[in-house]
Each structure stands twice: as structure tokens, then as C-alpha cells.
């Protein structure tokens, strides 16, 4: 399983990638939408964990562009702003299977990743 983590908070996303790798999940990370698109050109991932609110390109806009490059790519959105209910509609409209609120619970995240990948 290959996962791409996209969040403008470098310390958070690099730590999350490390914690996932300790649990056997191969995770790359980038800090903006442009870098994510470049990564998607080089290889298709199984899943992208995407922050909704990032400078220059929202997570929802990034999802649309990445899905063009990798049509089988699955998405989980996350945010540190507001509540899960605030964003559920936008996430559903964008085609995300799950929406998580930061700070992320690593065990819950792994369960969601495994569930999405098995679909």
C-alpha cells in the first residue's frame, strides 16, 4: 500500500508519515498541492490523505486534479479547522470516503486507511 500525505504543516505531516511507516504503511509526504501533483505524475498512489485548507490550492481542488492523473486513487480529507460536521458535505461532494479532524488519532487513521483501500 502506498499513501501520499498532503498538508502544509511540515512537522505534522512528516511525523505522521514516520508513524505510519512504523506500522507498515509506505507513506510519502508533501506540503502543498503543486508538489502532490508532481508526485502523482511520477507514480499513482493507493490513497491520499489531504488537508482541506492549504494555501494556493484547497484539498478539494487538489483531489479533482489528482483524480485526473490517477483515477483509482482514494481520498481521506482532514482538517484542523471546525468540526467533522462542518466539512462532511464538501468531502462527500468531492468523493472522499472519510473526513477526519486534527489532531489525528493514528489508530483510527490506520483503520480508515485499511477500510478505504479494501473497498
Phi, psi of 49 (to 5 degrees): -100, 115
User: Of the ranges 24-33, 81-90, 92-101, which one carries the lowest mean pLDDT score?
Assistant: 81-90
**Domain of 45: which CATH number?**
3.40.50.2300
For the segment 93-102, the average pLDDT, to the nearest whole number, is 67
What is the end-to-end Cα distance of the chain in Å, rounded?
Answer: 13
Instruction: Give how many domains the chain has, as a whole number.
Output: 1
pLDDT at 31 (0 to 100):
97
The sheet carrying 26-30 orders its strands as 26-30, 2-6, 47-51, 74-79, 98-101
For the segment 38-43, the average pLDDT, to the nearest whole number, is 93
Q: How many CB atoms lie within 10 A of CB 100?
A: 19
User: Of the ranges 72-76, 89-93, 106-110, which one carries the lowest mean pLDDT score?
Assistant: 89-93
- Which range marks the domain in which residue 28 is found? 2-118
For the segment 92-100, the average pLDDT, to the nearest whole number, is 61
Phi, psi of 99 (to 5 degrees): -135, 125
Amino acid at each position: 500500500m502506498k499513501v501520499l500525505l498532503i498538508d502544509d504543516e511540515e512537522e505534522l505531516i512528516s511525523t505522521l508519515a514516520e508513524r505510519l511507516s512504523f506500522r507498515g504503511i509506505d507513506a510519502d509526504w508533501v506540503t502543498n498541492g503543486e508538489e502532490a501533483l508532481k508526485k502523482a505524475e511520477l507514480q499513482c498512489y493507493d490513497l491520499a490523505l489531504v488537508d482541506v485548507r492549504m494555501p494556493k490550492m484547497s484539498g478539494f481542488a487538489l483531489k479533482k486534479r489528482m483524480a485526473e492523473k490517477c483515477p483509482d486513487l482514494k481520498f481521506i480529507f482532514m482538517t484542523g479547522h471546525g468540526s467533522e460536521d462542518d466539512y462532511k458535505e464538501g468531502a462527500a461532494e468531492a468523493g472522499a470516503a472519510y473526513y477526519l479532524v486534527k489532531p489525528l488519532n493514528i489508530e483510527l487513521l490506520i483503520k480508515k486507511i485499511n477500510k478505504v483501500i479494501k473497498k
